[in-house]
Amino acid sequence: ETGVTQSPTHLIKTRGQQVTLRCSSQSGHNTVSWYQQALGQGPQFIFQYYREEENGRGNFPPRFSGLQFPNYSSELNVNALELDDSALYLCASSGQGGSTNEKLFFGSGTQLSVL
Amino acid sequence: GNSVTQMEGPVTLSEEAFLTINCTYTATGYPSLFWYVQYPGEGLQLLLKATKADDKGSNKGFEATYRKETTSFHLEKGSVQVSDSAVYFCALSPSPYNTDKLIFGTGTRLQVFP
């Protein structure tokens, strides 16, 4: 089991609402990446935070936003939820901004259902 | 663009059978390649990786060789166990400087029966 914890584990929202997902990174890690995993698909990179700054973004609209706090925990916010946002959201942490020598540790994810 | 293609599953095997899960990739430059495993109810775990051509990654009896000439990174295991039942994801990192930004394949479910 990794030291990456995500909350909540499950969430149900309705279309148009806003949601905040939380992630605590593994101790000593300063980099957090977020991924979206739709049912039956591989995870897709949303964005990464390194030392509280966004450090790269995938092909997701601006209504997907994030924050990283001084303790390196992170939030993913999604506004104006759409049905297609239903997915497992994965948080992953590592040290040193994703250096090749670092290992990426994933949390168990938050399952979001949009009705 | 960068992409990863995996064989579709499920792959169903008897215990002690030989496993191959095919993975091919498209990338510019010199990507790093990974296999991740997702057990039921758990997060993704790194299984093995290779960072340059002809490198062989190995872990827990699984192996994969980075083949630049065929743009492949096939996963193999000589004798699978029931406990290997999981979903396996092939992934690449386009940049050697930030290997957290991964591009994943769609995953291959492996089911091993006693």
Q: Which residues lie closer than 8 Å to B63 by C-beta, 6 or more apart?
A: B48, B56, B57, B75, B76, B77
Q: What band does A99 get if pLDDT is binned at 50, 70 and 90?
A: low
Q: Which residues lie closer than 8 Å to A27 by C-beta, 6 or more apart?
A: A3
**pLDDT for A2 beyond 80:** no
Q: Is B101 close to A33, i.e. CB distance below 8 A?
A: yes
Residues in chain A closer than 8 A to B101 (CB atoms) = 33, 45, 48, 56, 58, 98
Q: Which residue has the higher pLDDT, B1 or A45?
A: A45
CA–CA dist B3, A48 (Å, integer): 19
Mean per-residue pLDDT of chain A: 91
**pLDDT for A100 beyond 60:** no
Cα torsion A73, A79, A84, A89 to 10°: value is 10
- Which of B32, B44, B107 has the CB atom closest to A100's CB atom? B32
**Averaged over B12-38, what is the pLDDT?**
94
Residues in chain A closer than 8 A to B35 (CB atoms) = none
Instruction: For chain A, list residues whose CB is within 8 angstroms of any CB belonging to chain B.
Output: 1-2, 4, 31, 33, 35, 40-45, 48, 55-56, 58, 90, 92, 94, 97-100, 102-104, 106-109
CA–CA dist B91, B3 (Å, integer): 9
**Averaged over B88-102, what is the pLDDT?**
84
Q: In angstroms, how far apart are the furthest CA atoms of chain B?
A: 43
For position A26, what pLDDT does the model report? 87
Q: Is B43 close to A4, i.e. CB distance below 8 A?
A: yes
The per-residue pLDDT for range A85-98, each reduced to its tens digit, is 999 999 999 876 55
- Which of A48, A90, A100 has the CB atom closest to B101's CB atom? A48
Q: What is the sign of the dihedral through the CA atoms of B51, B2, B36 and B20?
A: negative
- B23 in Cβ contact with B4 (< 8 Å): yes
- A19 in Cβ contact with A25 (< 8 Å): no
CA–CA dist B95, B107 (Å, integer): 22
CA–CA dist B23, B25 (Å, integer): 7
Q: What is the end-to-end Cα distance of chain A in Å, rounded?
A: 31
The pair phi, psi for residue A38, each rounded to 5°, is -75, 160
For position A97, what pLDDT does the model report? 58
Closest residue in B to A91 (Cα) is B43
